Amino acid sequence: MHSTTWRAALPLAALLASPRPAPAADLFDPLDVRHVKVEGEIGRRIEVTLRNNLLALDADKDFLQPFRDRNRNDGYIGLGKLIDAAVRFAHLTGDVKALELKKRLVAETLKTQETDGYIGLLKADRRVWTLWDIHEMGYLVYGLATDHRLFGEADSLAGARKLADYVIARWTAEPRRVPGNGQLTVHMAVTGIENAMLALHRQTREAKYLDFVRDVRATREWEAPIVLGRFGTIEGHAYAHLCRCVAQLRLHRLEPDPRLLKPTFDVIAFLLSGDGLTLPGEVGDHECWHNTQEGTLNLGETCATAYLLRWYDEGLRMDGHPALGDLMERSIHNGLFGAQSPDGRRIRYYTPFEGPRSYFHGDTYCCPGNFRRIVPELPGMVYYIADGGLAVNLYTASEATAALPAGVTLKVRQETDYPSSGRVAVVLTPSRPAAFPIRLRIPLWCAKPALTLNGAELDGVALERGTFAVASREWKPGDRLELELPMPARLVRGRKAQAGKAAVVRGPLVYGLNRARHPELKNVDLRLVVIDPATIEGPFPDDTVRPGGTACRVKAWKPGAWYPFAKHDYTLTLTEYADPGCEAIYFKVPNPRDERLVDDELVRE
C-alpha cells in the first residue's frame, strides 16, 4: 500500500471525504493537559496509577541503586521511563508527592552521571553496545528533556545533552559496530532513541540531534515491512515498530516527506484490513506482529498498546480523522485498562482475551514503565483545538479550558457516565458570545445518534457515524449540547482463529467471562460453550472493575447440548474486559451466519 493520505490509508474512511495530501500544518492541536481535568474511569485510572503505583514504588532500591552501582554486565531497568512518567504526573496533577518524587529521581539520577556523560547500569567495558544500554539511555534523554519542557529545569537539560552527546559520539565513532551485537535488529535494540533525540532537539534547537535522527538513524528511509511472528532478529517487534512510526510522524512535522508516512499507512492497512488489530484494541503476539486473531497468553504487549495510543494521537493531530478516536477508545477501555489491576498497583506485560491473565512480577522494565507514561498523556487526547473551535474526541466526564482565536477562552464540561452509557452533555462557557465550530465524534459503532442544543433539535448538523459532527454557530455561556449515542449490546463476529464465534460489545466496551463468578463452569472448556444471540441483556450495574461499571448477561448451552432446541444451561454474566478474571470474550454461536452478528466496525476486508 502506497497511500499518501490518512483518508486513503484508513480503509473504513473510503466512504468519507476524497483523498488529499497530508497537510503541512496539523489540523488538530492538543490542549495543555493541565487545563483538562478528567473524571470518570480515565480520571480514576490516573488517580490510582499515581497513588497506588507511581508513589508506591521503591524507587531507590529498584530503580536508582543499579545506576549508582554501575557494575552490571547487562540488563534493563527503565529509569528514564520512570522519570518521564513522574514528570508527567507532577505536571498534570501538581501533586506535591509526585513533584517531590520527580525532583528526587532527577537529582539522584544526575548524581550518577559520569564525567564522559554516561548514565546507565553497566560496567565500563560493557557500555553502549550491550543490548538495551542505548535503549536505557534514550529514555533517560527523553525523560530529562520532558522535565525541561514541562518544568524548565536547566540541570535536566544539561544532563540530557551530555548523555545524548555521549551516545552520538560513541555510536558514530564506530559506524560498523551494531548495538546489541546483532542479536536483535538495531531498530528494536535502540527503541526510543529517535523520539528522545527529537525531544532534545525541540528543547535545544540544536541541529545535531535532528541530524542524528534523520541521517544516522536513516529515519526517512526506514521502509519497515510488517514481519509476522517471532524469529531471527525480531524484525516484527510491534512496540519498536510503532515507536519508530511515531518518530517518523514527528520528524514529518519538522521536515515533511512522504516516505515518513508510508510505514504508518502500512501499519494502518495491516491493523484494519490485515487482521492485525484484535477486538480489545491490542496488537501482536509475544511482542511481534500477528494476524491470527488468537488472544492467548502473550497477546498485546502493554508497551505496544501504549504506543498505539500515542501513534493514533499523532495521526489525529495531523489529519483529524475520527476513526483514530474510535480506535483510541477501543484500546483505552479494553487493552490498556485490562493491563492494570483495578486498584492500580499491578501491571501486565500481556493481556490475553483467552485463558487466565497474570501480572508482571516487578515494577521495572518496559511495560510497567510505558503504562505509567501513557496514563498521564490521556487527558491530552480528550479535546483538541480544530479549525478555530473545539473537537471533542474522547467522551468522559471532564472539564477543560481552551484558548480559541480572537481572544475567546472556552470552558467546556462533559457531564456523562460514558462508557457506561452513551449520554453525553457538553456544556460550553465561552468568555463572551462567539462563533466557532464544535466537533463531536460520532463513533462508527453508533447507528442512531441524536443531538440537541438547550433541549431543542439542532438543524443543519449532520450526525453521521464515522465522522465528527460539526455544530457551527454563535455560542453563549451555558449552552448545553446533549449527545445521545445509544449503545445496545452487539454481537461482533470473530475472524480467523475466532471464526464461528462472536463477542459481546457495547459502545467501546468489550465484555468477557470471569470464571470465578460461575462455579458451574469450573471444569468446563469455555471454547465449547455456545451462547444464544437472542438472549443478550444489559447493561446491568457491576462494580467489579470500577464504580458505576457494567455487565451484560447472555444465556448459553453447555458443551454437547442439542442447541438451539435444548433448554439453556447457563446464564452467563459478562463483565468489562478490564475484569482481572476475564478469560474468554468469544463464544460459539449456533449459526455463524446469524444476521444478528455484525462485523467489527473498525475493520474492513
Residues forming the site for Zn ion (CB under 5 A): 301, 303, 366-367
Give the chain's end-to-end CA distance (angstroms, integer). Answer: 14
- CA–CA separation, 37 vs 397, rounded Å? 9
Which is nearer to Zn ion, 189 or 272 (by Cβ)? Answer: 189
**Whole-number minimum distance, CB 435 to Zn ion, in Å?**
47
In the complex, minimum distance from the CB of residue 368 to Zn ion, in angstroms, rounded to a whole number: 8
Q: Cis ω on the peptide bond leading into residue 488 (within 30° of 0)?
A: no
Q: Which residue lies nearer to Zn ion by CB, 78 or 344?
A: 78
Angle between helix 154-173 and 133-151 (nearest 10): 150
Q: From the CB of 526, what's the least distance to Zn ion, in Å?
A: 27
Q: Hey, what amino acid is at 267?
A: V
Name residue 464's beta-bridge partners. none
Closest to 396 (Cα-Cα) out of 46, 49, 43: 43
Q: Is 137 left (phi over 0), alpha (psi -120 to 50) or beta?
A: alpha
CB of 366 to Zn ion, least distance (A): 3
| Cell numbers representing residue 375 in the block | 496514563
How many residues belong to the chain?
605
CB of 399 to Zn ion, least distance (A): 33
Which CB sits closer to Zn ion, 85 or 318?
85
Closest to 395 in 3D by CA, of 22, 33, 43, 30? 43
Smallest gap from residue 374 Cβ to Zn ion (A): 12
The enclosing H or E element of 450 equals strand 450-453
Q: State which residue, 374 or 536, has the beta carbon closest to Zn ion.
A: 374
CB of 272 or CB of 303, closer to Zn ion: 303
Widest pairwise Cα distance in the chain: 78
Using the minimum distance from each CB to Zn ion, give the nearer residue, 62 or 569. 62
Q: Give the DSSP H/E element, type plus range, for residue 438.
A: strand 434-442
Identify the helix (H) or strand (E) that includes residue 505. strand 501-506
Q: State the cell numbers at 385.
A: 483545538
Least distance (Å) between residue 132 CB and Zn ion: 12
Nearer to Zn ion among residue 303 and residue 453 (C-beta):
303
Q: Considering beta carbons, is residue 76 or 395 the nearer one to Zn ion?
A: 76
In angstroms, the CA 9 to CA 223 distance is 16
Report which of 330, 335, 338, 385 is spatially closest to residue 509, judged by C-alpha positions: 330
CB 415 within 8 A of CB 467: no
- Spatial neighbors of 67 by CB under 8 A, at least 6 apart, are 77, 79, 109, 112, 119, 120, 121
Enter the C-alpha cell of residue 462.
Answer: 449532520
Give the separation between CA 156 and CA 169, rounded to whole angstroms: 20
Write the DSSP symbol of residue 33. Answer: G
Alpha-carbon separation of residue 226 from 85, 220, 229, 277 (angstroms)? 30, 17, 10, 13
**Which of residues 335 and 507 has its CB atom nearest to Zn ion in the complex?**
335
- Nearest distance, CB of residue 344 and Zn ion, angstroms: 18
Gap between the Cα atoms of 492 and 562, Å rounded: 24
> Whole-number minimum distance, CB 139 to Zn ion, in Å?
12
Residue 369 Cβ vs Zn ion, minimum distance, rounded to whole Å: 8
335 or 430: CB nearest Zn ion: 335
C-alpha span between 475 and 453 (Å, rounded): 10
Q: Given the complex with Zn ion, which of 352 and 539 has the nearer CB atom?
A: 352
CB of 301 to Zn ion, least distance (A): 5
Q: Which is nearer to Zn ion, 365 or 384 (CB)?
A: 365
The residue written with cell numbers 495530501 in the block is 21
